[in-house]
Structure 1
Amino acid sequence: MRRILPLLIGLLVLASCTEEAEKAARTPDAAESVTPSPTQAPEDETPQPRSPWSLPSLMDDELTSERPRRLRVSVDDPAYTEYEVRYRSGDLRVSGVLLIPTGKGPFPGVVLNHGYIEPSVYATGQGLSREQDYLARQGFAVLHTDYRGHASSDPAGDLDRETRLGYTRDAINAVHALAAEPKVDGERMAMLGRSMGGGVTMNALVAQPGLVDAAVLYASVSSDYLDNLRRWTVPERPEAAQRLFDRFGTPQEAPGFYDALSARSYFDRIDVPVLSHHGTLDDSCPLPWARTTHRLMRRAGVRSTLEVYDGEQHAFGPQWTDSMETTVAFLRRHLRR
């Protein structure tokens, strides 16, 4: 713990610099640049080995799964049936909820990635229950992943949690699991993530191009790993930040390590349209984060759309239905065959 205070000071200085950069980025004629890929070393330098704890490492993985195991029926509605399920994610088993619309199918599929909820109090399917019901009633098959370390999933390691790479693997494998359902059209798949789940979704998009046909972000965290580290880990879990710094170095000592955990470093790998929803009064994930992510995606050639909701907060309330109507229209347009 002896290094935490100076590290906090250093990170706060870095945060101040970031805020100034974001202000400049919002100026129409501001210079814009995408962080170079940390895997691309200058010609006169020897490339460094990839860290196994990085998005480039995840890019090399061949992830697969099989049809989820149905444990019990949790909702029997005329419009859909909801099951509590477990599915394979590498060597782990991950829990979640599966909603299959009533009818013959095959239905387009959507994997839902929830935001941060303390794992010790999290219950299966929590965090995106409104979206589950709405999408299933609109004819989408839905698999909401709990992530490892949540509900009845197998445990998660510290680095799986802090880097979000374990959660990203679970989201990618959820797509493969949902696509294996007999009444799901595996050629029409999408992903939707809220808050932390937005970060998980962006990670999945850059790690596995072609995994889905479209993606939706709700009140997402930043696409820069350090923004999120400064916003939550350092002030709320300083011991976790210290373990990260002790093992991999501080952001000042090892900038490439943190760049390699930032989806924005690899936005040029995203090959599907992305729709983002964000409120002007979001006090958890500030709107400038969404604007910067959108700008850098567009600069990298991504078909990115940012919908801004005046007066809407992080959880979305009065304009949530409007946002879901926009989401369904977006998904239908891009999941059409």
Structure 2
Amino acid sequence: MQQPSQTPSPLPTVTPSPTLPPTATFTPTPTLHPLTIQSMRLRDYPGSEITFEEKLASGANYERYLVSYLSEGLKIFALMTIPFGEPPDGGFPVIIFNHGYIPPREYRPTERYVAYVNAFASRGYIVFRPDYRGHGNSEGEARGAYSNPDYTIDVLNAVASIKRYPRANPQKIGMWGHSMGGHITLRVMVTSGDVKAGVIWAGVVGSYEDLMYRWRPTPIPTLSTGGRRFTQQLVETYGSPQENPSFWESISPIMFVNQISGPLQLHHAVDDSVVPLYFSQRLYEAMQAAGQPVEFYTYPGDDHNIANSFSLAMQRSIEFFDRYLK
């Protein structure tokens, strides 16, 4: 694939990762940690039939609904759009929409990301936006996306559920993710083969070592309820990334892009103050090294939401999905 004209600037200089004192010891556990990609691949993600809970106001050329499905026995709600008219042969293409971090108690499925969803929906896609457990009316506890695989499991069950929907094309599923949703998107795409193309805006897509030591100004924000306690527990059990790199690589999706399910398009503001540009640069280089199709666009003078260049970034995203899903 021809690469975009915009390419990332050289990687920034980073401070070496801290190491444990020489006296530190660790004892690996006998079973796979649930965050490991191998463990994720061994799970089942059956999904369920989609239940239509409430009809919302229609868009210009699509219907909008609140729906629900099952994930590990939990009822998970989602926003779903469906184009007017008869689907093409095989069904409408689908975009699974993974939103970024929103405090679970503040989350509302019809608020925020409205323009994003509408842009994809108006172009003939079914858009399926899972709430994640513990968000809105979804059952379960919101424990975060980085310290356990819960939200990724919910999204994988969303994929399985939309594949059952008769008007959707199960062979033409794409995935979009922003910030935390970018982490989920990458994790899904190295776990399952169902997603044919992914677009990530300002994604938390570095390795866990990057998340621990190279996330500025505050490492691992909202990593879990326990914050840094979670990574300290992993260090105490498995050792630091320097002592036990194989474990930390085993839970980092970026280390598995040689087996990713489809091409990626990455977008990141140069001056993003929430998630560093470095993360997307790392993923771009990892995809290139693995010989995987990837595009990377940077936006000088923009913010975490790429608000100033929204129309351009969205146009590029739609064209990318059109290329691989239509």
- Verify: 1:60 aligned to 2:42, yes or no: yes
- 8 Å contact 1:125–1:144 — kept in the other structure? no
Q: TM-score, normalised by structure 2?
A: 0.82
* Change over 3 Å in CA distance of 1:327–1:239 after alignment to 2: closer
Q: 1:114 aligns with which of 96, 99, 123?
A: 99
Identity of aligned residues (%): 25
Q: Structure 1: how far apart are the matches of 2:161 and 2:221?
A: 36
Partner of 2:65: 83
- 8 Å contact 1:172–1:211 — kept in the other structure? no
CA positional deviation for 1:144: 0.3
Q: Structure 1: how far apart are the matches of 2:221 and 2:62?
A: 42
Q: TM-score, normalised by structure 1?
A: 0.80
Partner of 1:169: 153
CA positional deviation for 1:161: 4.2
> Residue 151 of structure 1 aligns to which amino acid in structure 2?
G
Partner of 2:240: 251
Q: Structure 1: how far apart are the matches of 2:225 and 2:68?
A: 33
Q: 1:189 aligns with which of 173, 182, 198?
A: 173
Partner of 1:282: 272
- Verify: 1:133 aligned to 2:115, yes or no: no
CA positional deviation for 1:88: 1.1
- 8 Å contact 2:99–2:178 — kept in the other structure? yes
SS in 1 for 2:105: coil
Structure 2 gap segments, 5+ residues each: 1-13, 19-28
Partner of 1:223: 206
SS in 1 for 2:57: strand
- Per-residue deviation, residues 210-265 of structure 1 (Å, max 9, x unmatched): 21111100111132123334535656678432245336625356544432221112
Q: Structure 1: how far apart are the matches of 2:76 and 2:196?
A: 23
- 8 Å contact 1:115–1:127 — kept in the other structure? no
Partner of 2:127: 142
- Per-residue deviation, residues 166-204 of structure 1 (Å, max 9, x unmatched): 111111111121222222111111000000100100000
Q: Structure 2: how far apart are the matches of 1:233 and 1:243?
A: 12
- Verify: 1:333 aligned to 2:315, yes or no: no
* Change over 3 Å in CA distance of 1:227–1:127 after alignment to 2: farther
Q: Structure 2: how far apart are the matches of 1:331 and 1:238?
A: 35
CA positional deviation for 1:162: 4.0
* Change over 3 Å in CA distance of 1:304–1:18 after alignment to 2: farther
* Change over 3 Å in CA distance of 1:188–1:222 after alignment to 2: closer
- 8 Å contact 2:212–2:231 — kept in the other structure? no
SS in 2 for 1:71: strand
- Verify: 1:322 aligned to 2:312, yes or no: yes
Q: Give the number of equivalent residue pairs.
A: 294
SS in 1 for 2:104: coil
> Residue 189 of structure 1 aligns to which amino acid in structure 2?
I
Partner of 2:25: none
Greater relative CO (CA pairs within 8 A, separation 6+): 2
**Aligned pairs for 1:268-307 within 5 A:** 268-307=258-297
Higher helix proportion: 1
Q: Structure 2: how far apart are the matches of 1:285 and 1:262?
A: 17
Q: Structure 2: how far apart are the matches of 1:131 and 1:65?
A: 25
- 8 Å contact 1:217–1:275 — kept in the other structure? yes
- Per-residue deviation, residues 43-93 of structure 1 (Å, max 9, x unmatched): xxxx96422332210011121212321110122234111111111112222
CA positional deviation for 1:324: 1.2
Q: Structure 2: how far apart are the matches of 1:164 and 1:307?
A: 30
* Change over 3 Å in CA distance of 1:118–1:140 after alignment to 2: same
CA positional deviation for 1:108: 0.4
Q: 1:312 aligns with which of 296, 302, 309?
A: 302
Q: Structure 1: how far apart are the matches of 2:287 and 2:184?
A: 16
SS in 2 for 1:93: strand
> Residue 211 of structure 1 aligns to which amino acid in structure 2?
D
- 8 Å contact 1:234–1:241 — kept in the other structure? yes
CA positional deviation for 1:310: 2.2
Partner of 1:94: 76
- Per-residue deviation, residues 105-129 of structure 1 (Å, max 9, x unmatched): 1210000001111112111244432
* Change over 3 Å in CA distance of 1:134–1:254 after alignment to 2: same
- Per-residue deviation, residues 281-324 of structure 1 (Å, max 9, x unmatched): 11111112211110011101221110112222111122111111
* Change over 3 Å in CA distance of 1:229–1:94 after alignment to 2: farther
